[in-house]
Chains A and B, each alone.
Chain A
Amino acid sequence: MPRLPTPPIPKVLQPKPKRPGQNGNGNEHGSGKVSPAEAAQEAGVTVVDWIDERTSLSGGLRWLMFRKVPHGNWFYTLGSATLFAFLSQTITGVFLAMYYRPDATGGAYESMRYIVDDAFLGQFVRGMHKWGASVMVILIFLHMGRTFFFGAYKYPREMTWIIGVVLLILTLAMSFTGYLLPFDDRAYWATIVGVNINGTAPFLGPYISDFLRAGPEFGATTLSRFYAIHMLLVPGLIIALISVHLYLVAKLGITAPPWTKPDEEPELDVAEV
């Protein structure tokens, strides 16, 4: 079988060839005994092999992990930082959802009270979710600013940009719908005014407002609707779109900083896209 070339990993991480007369853990060659460590390693390899034989995942993973990335700088970490903030929101959100009840007529506010006052680490987790939202919004704007000032939205990465704008809107939609859920005074009034202002937007405005309110009136079903949008609809869309966004990033390659120029003249055989 043709072998894939060894991936270009740094020296320290490359497996060292064994010394002659040694099989990795000091045992004499050919003693026939298999140490537990060896057995465990072997089992792991077998499982991975088993999965790979049926899925052929390793090729894709190699492509993803060992693709080359031009020399960048710290601004290039803002996208993955946004992704990480989103992951943090998902995890803290799951914990909040274990206690939260989307019931406007009695329950929503009380369940928030319970989370904040009584639940173990409740206030901490809620704080992380709440401040995490601000952090994610800041990071997404910084990331957008990075791609804008670096001209990263230009050919061939136009799609990446457009999907990014949708992600920006969805992220803001997350904060907007999440804001109502605690159902305290601040949440209620900010949301009413927000929905009504939105209703004055041209064309789709009134329809979106009616959709958000679950009808013409701000009522008991409004809260469940915000809850469903905040917990299912928008996160699902965001996850799907982040996947496409990241696929495009890997496929097209991350831009080199615009001020860099190739060092040497191209050799003809290195053109690999």
Chain B
Amino acid sequence: MNQAEKEAYLREYSILKNEGKPFFPYAVAKDSAMAVIVLLVIIFLSLMFGAELGPKADPTTTTYVPRPDWYFFFLFEVLRVIKPPVWTQLATIGVPTVCMVLLFLLPFYDRSPERRIERRPVALTAGILTIMAMAYLTYSGANAGSISVVALKAPSNLTPSETATFNAGKLVMGQSGCLACHRLGDSGNSAGVGPNLARVGLYLKPAAIASTLKNPTPPMPSFRSIAQQYPTKFKDLVTFLSDLQ
């Protein structure tokens, strides 16, 4: 908007404002009616659905299906749905960040003085696409398997200490979100971008697995930080993966 458009807007607005009614009591009455509705809805939901409390947190299990609250489904889904490889690693992880920045800067790149949505085709399309994308992602997130469930028994030919390492590695895998992209046996994301890891130990040596984790091909993110910060955890993870045969 240039200076003339700004002034024109302010002039028109001050007339519209003067034709309006005082905030108290007119707007206050409407707002209060809405507040009562909100309160009734919350009370209704609380009475209808209550608040269940699951079993106590157990850090040693990975078979539990964790569900974030439903309004985070779309964020979790973004990670899984985006199908590279045309898109780079930055696109995979940076999409939420980019969306956030676009949202912040909206008033600065949309500078036209037009406010009626039917005359803002770009904004209308973008708005509707965003709503549809979020609805779709929430829906598919609600129906997707959890990404921290690694439902897998240790092979029976392992010694007890090897079994312990296997389970430790399984835990690391569950916590690292690998199954957002990979499938492992019956767990993980069947629509993921990464290969199924159920037999990865057959065709990759431990050293190869370790170097994949540190220097992966995009879009898989690098897990070098695990290797640097927790060498044991990293070793457990690699051992676990090479036991998958």
Q: Would you give the 0/1 interface string for A256-273, flagging 1 where the beta carbon is closer than 8 Å to chain B?
A: 101111110010001111
CA distance A216 to B234 in the complex (A): 14
**A194 interface neighbour in B27, B28, B72, B116, Cβ under 8 Å:** B72
For B, the interface residue count at a CB cutoff of 8 angstroms equals 92
**Which residues of A lie under 8 Å from residue B175 when comparing CB positions?**
192-193, 196, 218
Shortest CB-to-CB span from B153 to chain A, Å, is 19
Shortest CB-to-CB span from A138 to chain B, Å, is 8
Q: Does B59 contact A (CB under 8 A)?
A: yes
Contact B11 A190 (CB under 8 A): no
Q: Would you give the 0/1 interface string for B13-34, flagging 1 where the beta carbon is closer than 8 Å to chain A?
A: 1111111111111111011011
Interface Cβ pair total, 8 Å cutoff: 268
**Which residues of A lie under 8 Å from residue B124 when comparing CB positions?**
149
CA distance A123 to B124 in the complex (A): 43
CA distance A74 to B12 in the complex (A): 22
Q: Does B68 contact A (CB under 8 A)?
A: yes
Shortest CB-to-CB span from B231 to chain A, Å, is 12
CA distance A47 to B27 in the complex (A): 28
Q: Does B86 contact A (CB under 8 A)?
A: no
CA distance A90 to B220 in the complex (A): 41
Q: Does B66 contact A (CB under 8 A)?
A: yes
Q: Does B191 contact A (CB under 8 A)?
A: no
Contact A165 B17 (CB under 8 A): no
Majority-rule SS of A interface residues? helix
Contact A88 B38 (CB under 8 A): yes
CA distance A204 to B50 in the complex (A): 37
Contact B10 A273 (CB under 8 A): yes
Contact B46 A124 (CB under 8 A): yes
**Which residues of A lie under 8 Å from residue B90 when comparing CB positions?**
202
**A179 interface neighbour in B23, B68, B107, Cβ under 8 Å:** B68
**Interface of chain B residues 208 through 231 with chain A (CB within 8 A):** 221, 225, 229-230
Pick 6 A–B contacts, CB within 8 A, sort by A.
A65-B24, A149-B123, A172-B72, A184-B54, A218-B175, A256-B17
